[in-house]
Structure 1
Amino acid sequence: MLRSSPAPAPALRSVLAALGSPTAVHEARTPALRAAPGPLSPELPLPVHLLRLSAAPGQPRTRLVGWRFLIRCGDRAVAAAETVPDPDGGWAFSHFFEGPYVTATERALAQAEALPGAYQPRLLSVPELYMLTLWLRPEPGADGAEPDADAADVLVPLAPAPPGIAAHRPYRAADLLPVLSTRLAPPPFFDAEAPAA
């Protein structure tokens, strides 16, 4: 069962204003959004956290960088809207987009609903690996802003996932985060001129 945090009111207002602006929708690089036949509604807001990994041992650090809304037309998501923090401490509309992560997010949320227990859904972006995961915290009372992943959290990589990591498979954070850190480790030093043993 999923228990989502409500999005901050300014984030929702900024997305509603963008959806209500013919200029913002028309200039968006999202053909599906421009071609949508019916009313558009922002749904399933998810806090987006940025994960910075390092090859050094230790806890990976995250920070809240935005809120993402799936934009529905009828019974399916046709695009997404992203909001970012503004200088006044609120939230501002950033952009609309479409692509594989929109449908992958919808699929992962449906999968997560079937998992035993209650989870708070978030998105976790790993830019160094061009990776996005659905981050499920087993603390439904939290507000979505806590910074770091816990070993008991569940991570569901969205498609397309990096090679060797199965998309849409739930992983314990304790199992997946070390794998991601290893991928970012520099290759071992190799001295081509050293004598063979």
Structure 2
Amino acid sequence: MPLHVSQVPTPALHSVLAALGSPALREASTPALRSAQGPLSAELPLPVHVLGVTAAAGGPAGAPATRLAGWRFLIRGGEVTLAAADTLRTAGGWTFSHFFEGPYLTSTERALRQAELSGAPWQPRLLSVPELYMLTLWLHGDPDADPADGAPDPADVLIPLAPAPPGIAAHRPHRVADLLPRLAVRLAPPPLLGSSA
């Protein structure tokens, strides 16, 4: 398998496993988890980075800047993915945030299969663009890189997950050098009224 899943921080994993073993699991807002029979496992930990665009001198588009915001785990019951669990970094370390369901689960699995079929040795990450309500599978070209660090490299690949924003096709791989400039334009603040821009 060409994907090199990163080593997750132990406290992040422990927080999810504790949540899975908690009575609060039955009160979760995820019907699939409330009705699950048998043991549940937390698999495929992916670091979740948030993309922001900094203002670039002399041009409307900015340079990409990312920060590690959390880790996401797929929660499986047997062979079926039932939900996902997110963790967040707090002042006290990594902590469980919430369980959720929805279209991003199947879309993430589909994008991971696409990445595996590519044959390249990727390090999978998630890249969130909150302002556009967009999530992508970020295939980082250095499989041994620290998953908490680094901005997208121009040769890295982004696979937008469904649902994708208007004008961006879900599951169509893009090189970072091709997609990030398009996103930067969408993220740029509009010109002020009365300005010459």
TM-score normalised per structure 1: 0.91
1:3 and 2:4 matched: yes
Secondary structure at the counterpart of residue 114 of structure 1 = helix
Equivalent residue letter for 1:124: L
Native 8 Å contact 1:3 1:120 kept in 2: yes
Query: Take 1:82 and 1:69, find their aligned partners in 2: how far apart are those partners?
Result: 7
| Uncovered stretches (5+) of structure 2, i.e. residues with no partner | none
Equivalent residue letter for 1:60: P
Question: Residue 87 of structure 2 aligns with which residue?
Answer: 83
1:168 and 2:171 matched: yes
Residues 21 and 163 of structure 1: is their aligned pair in 2 closer, same or farther, counting only changes over 3 Å?
same
Deviation at 1:182, TM superposition (A): 1.3
Native 8 Å contact 1:54 1:185 kept in 2: no
Native 8 Å contact 1:132 1:157 kept in 2: yes
User: Residues 29-178 of structure 1 correspond to what in structure 2 (within 5 A)?
Assistant: 29-53=29-53, 56-88=60-92, 90-178=93-181
User: Residues 169-188 of structure 1 correspond to what in structure 2 (within 5 A)?
Assistant: 169-187=172-190
Equivalent residue letter for 1:69: F
Native 8 Å contact 2:16 2:87 kept in 1: yes
Query: Take 1:16 and 1:150, find their aligned partners in 2: how far apart are those partners?
Result: 33
Deviation at 1:6, TM superposition (A): 1.2
Native 8 Å contact 1:54 1:181 kept in 2: no
Residues 58 and 184 of structure 1: is their aligned pair in 2 closer, same or farther, counting only changes over 3 Å?
closer
Deviations 1:111-135 (A, max 9, x none): 1101132000000000000000000
Deviation at 1:189, TM superposition (A): 7.0
Question: Could you tell me the percent identity over the aligned residues?
Answer: 67
Deviations 1:130-173 (A, max 9, x none): 00000001101112011311101100000000011010111000
* RMSD (CA atoms): 1.6
Query: Take 1:103 and 1:151, find their aligned partners in 2: how far apart are those partners?
Result: 27
Native 8 Å contact 2:61 2:188 kept in 1: no
Equivalent residue letter for 1:184: L
Equivalent residue letter for 2:30: T
Deviating above 2 A after TM superposition, structure 1's stretches of 4 or more consecutive aligned residues are 53-58, 184-191
| Uncovered stretches (5+) of structure 1, i.e. residues with no partner | 192-197
Query: Take 2:145 and 2:170, find their aligned partners in 1: how far apart are those partners?
Result: 26
Task: Find the structure with the greater CA-based Rg.
Answer: 1
